[in-house]
Structure 1
Amino acid sequence: MEMKRRKFSREFKIEAVKLVSERGVSVSQACRDLELAESVLRRWMREATVAPATAFPGNGHQRPDQAEIAALKKEVAKLKAERDILKKAAAYFAREAT
């Protein structure tokens, strides 16, 4: 039997965290009520505590630090390609000069 990964909306995650943090429900009780693994809810609580404004960005949305890392990786790949082209051109012209 294949298990399908469940997806939760940002609002659901925020409300689940509020159950514990604001309404005083225990983590284990909230997990039973919401049919979640404790590790999942604890991770959501950690994310909400570390960066409340950017927690749970959703599909297709990256946190600013992740977006910057992706942009830098793209730039590194571009620069490596340019470097390799220049190396080949230098080798070609060095052969032509002799």
Structure 2
Amino acid sequence: MADKRRKFDAEFREGAVRIVAETGKTLAEVARDLGINETTLATWVSRARQAGGTGPGEGEELARLRRENAQLKRDNKELAMERDVLKRCMVLWVK
């Protein structure tokens, strides 16, 4: 006699995928903790990765963070150059 298939809602699937991504636990551990088949969880994770794993608004936030990171790197480089100039000036002043 065939068992009836269990259905999982989208929220449960997304949560399970998020647990795998954020906790660093293996698929087997998470599947065992949630009481689902490891292959099922692996399919959900694979689909999420193929879809890019970004929910609504996450792509925009990622782009904003990348722009901010690039700006901070430019600022850091400029401050490092200013620091080096000040070090050289100090050496000349001490002499």
Identify unmatched segments of 5+ residues in structure 2: 56-95
List structure 1 runs of 4+ shifted beyond 6 angstroms: none
Pairs within 5 Å for 1:1-98 = 1-51=1-51, 52=53
> 2:35, 2:27 → 1: CA distance?
12
By relative contact order (CA 8 Å, sep 6+), the higher-ranking structure is 1
Identify unmatched segments of 5+ residues in structure 1: 55-98
SS at match of 2:23: coil
Opposite residue 7 of structure 2, the aligned amino acid is K
Q: Percent identity?
A: 39
Q: Deviations over 1:7-37 (max 9, x none)?
A: 0010100110111111222211111111111
TM-score normalised according to structure 2 size: 0.51
Q: Deviations over 1:37-57 (max 9, x none)?
A: 111111100100111358xxx
Shift of 1:2: 3.5
Opposite residue 47 of structure 2, the aligned amino acid is E
- Looking at secondary structure, tell me which structure has more helix per residue: 2
How many residue pairs are counted as aligned between the two chains? 54
> 2:5, 2:54 → 1: CA distance?
25
SS at match of 1:7: coil
